[in-house]
Structure 1
Amino acid sequence: MSEPARLWGENLTLAYDQRVISRDLGITIPDNSFTVIVGPNACGKSTLLRALARMLKPSAGAVHLDGELIGSYPSKEVARRLGLLPQSSVAPDGITVADLVARGRYPHQKFLKQWSRADERIITEAMDATRVTELATRMVDELSGGQRQRVWLAMVLAQQTPLLLLDEPTTYLDIAHQMDVLDLCAELHHERDHTLVAVLHDLNHACRYATHLIAMKDGAVVAEGDPAEIITAELVEQVFGLPCRVIPDPETHTPLIVPADRRGAVTRRANGDRKAEAGIGMRRSA
């Protein structure tokens, strides 16, 4: 009999005040996976991630972490087991990169022993892994969006948690910086054995990087599994309302979504209308 997953939820009802987002939702994050949650806007992706991170208390049901109810742990203990990079992270004014990354060690600090050489080593390793070492003395608010995102990742890495939850980590980044961040996430998964859970908007990025994909619509899980096994043109149209073709990515051989040419369809309809009008005019003149 296999061991239960480290992070899972059962019978979850997730709501903000009286507005219910998800009802009777069940979710299991496979250990050592790079799980990506996708779906249209307002489908409940980020709400689910907040519940898994104990940022949102379910109205019903429960989230389990390492065999216990996540709500039963002290906050510092959760932070030692699970790291979260929220959608919008705001650094304190006037803080340097090194000082912000160092805050990732807070969950491990004890009352009588505040700092150690091990903490210094872990911070250095986190900055090296995210390639922000040369930015150590820079102010965070002076950095570009891509640089800031790598700094926040370094802070989460400094927590040394086996589980990392990332809410839209590529938002507001240009395509090159998006790839930088996702390559780094893949590296953390493959080389450091982290279990990652990320909310992404770009379905092609999700298919390229995820080992486990969860597709949501209207607060419910529509499909989940290996992207190569579940992503079809029918599923994309069902979830996103987007007619498309699904072909192999020429670089990675993962599913690649090619939207249908709706502009071409409009042009063809317009041309057909003009031909029909011309035909009617010719019949009238005759």
Structure 2
Amino acid sequence: MTLAYDKRVIAEDLSVEIPDGSFTVIIGPNACGKSTLLRALSRLLKPAAGTVLLDGKDVHSQPTRTVAKTLGLLPQSSTAPDGITVAELVARGRYPHQSILRRWSTEDEHVVQESMLSTGVADLADRHVDELSGGQRQRVWLAMALAQQTPLLLLDEPTTYLDIAHQIEVLDLCAELHERQGRTLVAVLHDLNHAARYATHLIAMRAGKVARSGLPAEVLTAELVEEVFGLPCRVIDDPETGTPLVIPAARRSTGATV
């Protein structure tokens, strides 16, 4: 497919397949098309050419409510309505499940509470979203995405604004959703070591193209990192997980003295 904003082409002749039941992570340098690809997968951006297929059907030909029951999105940046509380925002994740015949239920309430507990924001339920820190807001948006209970979840830089401890908490939660609930996850991440540790399928992009895709151990090599990111490095086994661990090359000393 071709992805473009007006006449500015971001990606051309781009072909991507997300394995069912995978935790797919998309990596690549800034402005390579990662987030644009995610926007196309989520139906926020219609390809200038080509088609996005969801379960074999054009995602743009399906009713919005049908897609919303299958596919959830945590965008890179989100703005909450003024004055909305955390609980009210998370509850919006249940809207695709509402209809004239099905109103708010005890099941909906249970899902909202569980989503807030899973993301560590249950104690913020009555707080206004605009009062929270960036990290807290990010976890609230993730809770809303979880409350949607879709089998496919797209996450655009879900660890933005989070300190290292909360980054790991969020990614551990994502891994649990994938492993225990069988959800298919697609995430854009900047941290290569996080990507290698959590992904079951890795897509490396460069200049609007897929440079390589496959298992993290096959994709994340020193040669690939230098080719895609221009970063000389060593790739070793992570002592905790055995997954690839990228070690940037040390800066060479000039030997100058003062």
User: TM-score of the superposition, structure 2-length normalised?
Assistant: 0.95
Amino acid at match of 1:216: M
Q: Which of residues 76, 99, 108 is equivalent to 2:65?
A: 76
Distance across 2 between alignment mates of 1:256 and 1:85: 27
Q: Which of residues 123, 130, 133 is equivalent to 2:122?
A: 133
Q: Which of residues 200, 225, 228 is equivalent to 1:236?
A: 225
Amino acid at match of 2:160: T
**Deviation digits for residues 10-38 of structure 1 (CA, Å, limit 9, x no counterpart):** xx100111111111111111111110000
Aligned to 2:16, the other structure's residue is in SS state strand
> Number of paired residues?
258
Match of 1:24 in 2: 13
Match of 2:216 in 1: 227
Residue 112 of structure 1 deviates from its aligned partner by 4.3
Match of 1:277 in 2: none
Residue 213 of structure 1 deviates from its aligned partner by 0.5
Match of 1:267 in 2: 254
* Alpha-carbon contact 2:193-2:244 (below 8 Å) kept: yes
After TM superposition, where is structure 1 displaced by more than 6 Å over at least 4 residues in a row? Answer: none
Match of 1:151 in 2: 140
Query: Comparing both structures, which one devotes a greater share of its residues to helix?
Result: 1
Q: In the alignment, is residue 115 of structure 1 matched against residue 99 of structure 2?
A: no
Distance across 2 between alignment mates of 1:145 and 1:252: 30
Aligned to 1:214, the other structure's residue is in SS state strand
**Deviation digits for residues 68-121 of structure 1 (CA, Å, limit 9, x no counterpart):** 110111111111110000000111121111111100011111124331222112
Aligned to 2:10, the other structure's residue is in SS state strand
Q: Residues 1-286 of structure 1 correspond to what in structure 2 (within 5 A)?
A: 12-262=1-251, 265-268=252-255
Distance across 2 between alignment mates of 1:182 and 1:17: 34
Distance across 1 between alignment mates of 2:155 and 2:220: 22
Report which of the two structures shows the higher radius of gyration computed on alpha carbons: 1
Distance across 1 between alignment mates of 2:106 and 2:160: 35
Amino acid at match of 1:107: P
* Alpha-carbon contact 2:24-2:203 (below 8 Å) kept: yes
Residue 201 of structure 1 deviates from its aligned partner by 0.7
Q: Which has the higher contact order (CA 8 A, sep 6+)?
A: 2
Residue 253 of structure 1 deviates from its aligned partner by 1.3
Distance across 2 between alignment mates of 1:229 and 1:242: 18
**Deviation digits for residues 161-218 of structure 1 (CA, Å, limit 9, x no counterpart):** 0000000111222222211211111111112111110001111111111111000000
Stretches of structure 2 lacking an aligned partner (at least 5 in a row): none
Distance across 2 between alignment mates of 1:76 and 1:87: 22
Distance across 2 between alignment mates of 1:96 and 1:70: 32
Stretches of structure 1 lacking an aligned partner (at least 5 in a row): 1-11, 272-286
Q: What percentage of aligned pairs have identical amino acids?
A: 72
